[in-house]
Structure 1
Amino acid sequence: MSTPRFLTLPSGVRRTFVETSRGRFAALEALPGSGVPERWPALLVPGFTGSKEDFLSVLQTLASAGRRVLAVDMRGQYETPAGTGPESYTRAELGADVAALAAVLGADDDVPVHLVGHSFGGLVTREAVLARTARVASFTLMSSGPGALTGPSAEKAVLLRDSIPQLGMEQIWTLALEPDAVNRGVPPKIVAFLKARTLGNCETGLMTMATELTTCPDRVDELAKFMAEEGLRTLVLYGEDDDVWDPRVQAAMAERLGAEKVVIPSAAHSPAVDAPETTAAALTDFWSLAERALR
C-alpha cells in the first residue's frame, strides 16, 4: 500500500486488503497472540467520514479473546478503491459489500460473523442483516440510530455534500477542517492522518453517503421482526455524551428492538476511541454470550 503511514499499529495488528466477490477492501486485521482464532470472527464497519482506523484502539483487545477481528474502509473510503458512480454508495449497495466481506471472513471455518456498524455504518450493516445476505452471529449498532440523522449533525453532512461540487475536498480541508483540528489541539501526527484520510475519500461517495445518511427510513420494526424470527442477538452501544445520535433516541431504539443496551461512560460519538477498554470489554462479553446461545 503506497499511502504514507501516520499511525503506529499495535502489536498483532496489520494492514491488509481483503479480496471479495464485490472487489477489494482495505482493512486492519488483528489475530490472537497464538495466531489461531478459537472463537467466531468479528467485522467492524465505520461511519460516514470515518475509516478502519476508528477501531484501532480496540482491535488488539478484541482479538486477545481468541478472535480474528477485521476493521474495514467501506467502498470509496480512505484506502478502499472507489465505486463506478453514485449508485455504488447507496445503503443497499454498501450493505452488499458488507455481506461479501462477512462471507470471506467466515469462510475458512464456515462460521457466522459478529457484525458491528458505527454511526452510518450501523445503517449500512442493518441493510446486510435485513437482506439476509450475511451470515451473522450477532449484530451491534454502535452510536447509530433508527433512521435518518437529524439536527446539527445532519446539517453538517448536508453542508459538506453541497460544498464539495463548488470547493472540492482539498479546499474544504484547508479552509475548514484543518483549522478546526488545529484549534482543538489535535496532535500534528493525527492532523496529518486526518488530512490523508479526508483527501483519500471519494467525493462522489461522500456526497451520496451524506444523502443516504440524512434520508434513511426508520427500519427498526423490520429489524425487531427479523430478530424475533431468527433469534438474532442485537446490542445497542453508545457513549453517554454522544453528540451526533441523541442518546435518548438510541435508548428508545434499543427498547423497540428488545435489544441489549450498553452505555459507555466518559465517551461521546466514538466509544472505541474515547473509552477503548470499556468498549472492547462490552463487545467481548456480548459476543461470548451470543456464541454460547448459538453453539
Structure 2
Amino acid sequence: MSNPPTLDPPAGARAYRLRTARGDFAVVDHDVAPGAAPKGTALLLPGFTGSKEDFHLLHQPLAARGYRTVAVDGRGQFESAGPRDDESVYAQRELARDVLAQIQALAAENDGEGPAAGPLHLLGHSMGGQVARAAVLIDHSPFASLTLVASGPARISPSQQERVRLLHEALAVMTMEEVWEAIQAMGAPQDAGGEDHLRRRWLAHQPTQLLVTGRQLCAEPDRVAELAALPLPFHVLSGAADDTWPLPLLDEMAVRLDAHRTVVEGAEHSPNVDRPLPTAEALADFWDGLGVRPRGRRDGGS
C-alpha cells in the first residue's frame, strides 16, 4: 500500500472533479509554476489501493520545470465514484477508456489554447501503468510519451499474488473497516503523522474495484511486443528495489521497448513517494529530451 504524506492538495494545486464523456473523476491539478515556460501536461495514474495523492510530492518540482500535472483517481478509487454491483466497469479495457476520456477532456480545455495546450504525457504507477498501457494500445494518438513507474511486463510476482489472494478472501467475508483493522494488526507500515488519512482513503475505495483489478494484476498477459510496435517514446522508471516486479524484469522490459530507463536509488515500489525530487527530475529530463535523447539510454537516480 502506498503511503502519501497527506490527503491535502499541495500548495498551488486545485482539487476538483474533471467532467468527461464517461463521468466525473476526482483530480489534483497543478499548473506550471509562475515564471516557468509551459512545456506540456502529464496525466498521472495511481496503482492498486492507491490514489491521486500518491503524486502530491511530484507536483511542485514538475511545475518548476514547466509541466502541468493532473493526478486522477480512477473509477472506484478513493474520491472517484464507482458501482458496487457491476464488475464490468472495472475491467481493464473500461478503465483504459476512462483514461482516453480524461485526456480528451484535458485537451478540449479552451479549444486547446489553455493550460492543456502542448504535449500530453501519460504516466502510470504499478497497476496504473498497466491501465496506461491498455489505453495507448487502444489509441496512442493523443499521447506524446508513456512512462511506466514500477509497472512490469505481465502479472505481479508470486509473493504479491499471494497478498492479493488473501485480500480477496478477506473482502469476501469482511467489511472494508474490518479488513483495515486486520491489515493494521499484521503490522502495516505507518507514517509519522499517524494512519487516519490512510484509513480514510482505504474506506473510500470501492471493494468491487479492488476485486476486479486484483484479479487482473494476477493474470495480466505480457503485452510488451504490442506496446513496442507503437510509435511512442517510452520511459521505464523504478526504485532500486521492488518485490512487485523484480528489477531484472523491468530492465528486460525496457530493452524490449527500447525505452529510456531510470533507477531511483533509495526508493522501492513507490519512487514518487520514497524519493520524489530525483523522480521528478528524471521525469522532466525525459520529457525535455524527447526528440533529442537516443532511445534506450539508462539513468541512475541519485
TM-score > 0.5 by shorter chain: yes
> Is 1:212 matched up with 2:219?
no
CA distance in 1, matches of 2:98, 2:141: 10
Contact 1:99/1:134, CA 8 A, preserved across alignment = no
Instruction: Select the structure that is richer in helix.
Output: 1
CA distance in 1, matches of 2:291, 2:41: 11
Give the 5 Å matches for 1:222-241. 222-226=226-230, 230=231, 232-241=232-241
Structure 2 unaligned regions, length at least 5? 294-302
Task: Please name the residue that 1:196 is paired with.
Answer: 200
TM-score of the superposed pair, with normalisation by structure 2: 0.88
> Is 1:101 matched up with 2:102?
yes
Letter in 1 for 2:173: Q
Q: How far off its partner does 1:111 sit?
A: 4.2
CA distance in 1, matches of 2:175, 2:240: 34
Matched-pair identity in %:
39
Contact 1:102/1:134, CA 8 A, preserved across alignment = no
> Is 1:286 matched up with 2:286?
yes
Contact 2:91/2:212, CA 8 A, preserved across alignment = yes
TM-score of the superposed pair, with normalisation by structure 1: 0.90
Task: Please name the residue that 2:299 is paired with.
Answer: none
Q: How far off its partner does 1:217 sit?
A: 0.8
Task: Please name the residue that 2:122 is paired with.
Answer: 115
CA distance in 1, matches of 2:52, 2:170: 25
| Partner SS for 2:147 | strand
Task: Please name the residue that 2:148 is paired with.
Answer: 141
> Is 1:274 matched up with 2:274?
yes
Task: Please name the residue that 1:257 is paired with.
Answer: 257
Moved over 3 A (4+): 5-9
Contact 1:41/1:106, CA 8 A, preserved across alignment = no
Contact 1:96/1:133, CA 8 A, preserved across alignment = no
| Partner SS for 1:25 | strand
| Partner SS for 1:180 | coil
Task: Please name the residue that 1:187 is paired with.
Answer: 192
Change (3 A) 1:37 1:174: farther
CA distance in 1, matches of 2:50, 2:8: 18
Contact 1:31/1:64, CA 8 A, preserved across alignment = no
Letter in 2 for 1:73: D
Contact 2:36/2:65, CA 8 A, preserved across alignment = no
CA distance in 2, matches of 1:62, 1:12: 12
Q: How far off its partner does 1:66 sit?
A: 1.8
RMSD: 2.0
Letter in 1 for 2:262: V
Aligned length, in residue pairs: 282
Change (3 A) 1:204 1:290: same
Deviations 1:184-241 (A, max 9, x none): 453344x111101111000111100100111111100000111xxx2x1000000001
Contact 1:31/1:37, CA 8 A, preserved across alignment = no
Change (3 A) 1:179 1:192: farther
